Amino acid sequence: MTTKSYTEKLEKKYGILTFGNMIVAWRKSEEMTQTAFAKKIGLSVQNLNDLEKGRRIPSATRAAKIAKKLGLPVMGLIQLALRDSLIKEGFNFEVKLESA
């Protein structure tokens, strides 16, 4: 299953997927506290909290680092981060990344 079709299925069932709510879901599925999860991905607890609440949106580089530490598709997390950034700026664009 491609990242896009998987994301579309999730969003159809649960609403728009953001970087923040994706990492909250991942953390909770691993039954980890914010403190333990922040340590695992190399962030402060406050920074993790800001990402989870959508107060901060990670750069593509940070999204890629988090994806690698979690063993998740890098392109998928970068795509979410970029889309969140565009939405925050008032643009309603779909983001689709492809490998060069």
Domain 15-88 is in which class?
mainly alpha
- The owner of tokens 């309603």 is 92
1 pLDDT above the threshold of 90: no
Provide the residue ranges of all domains of the chain, joining segments of one domain with +.
15-88
Predicted TM-score (pTM) of the model is: 0.84
Cβ(70)–Cβ(48) below 8 Å:
no
**Rg of the chain on CA atoms, in Å:** 13
Q: For 17-39, how does the pLDDT look when each residue is reduced to its tens digit (9 = 90+)?
A: 899 999 998 999 999 999 999 99
Cβ(7)–Cβ(13) below 8 Å:
no
| Confidence band for 83, pLDDT divided at 50, 70 and 90 | very high
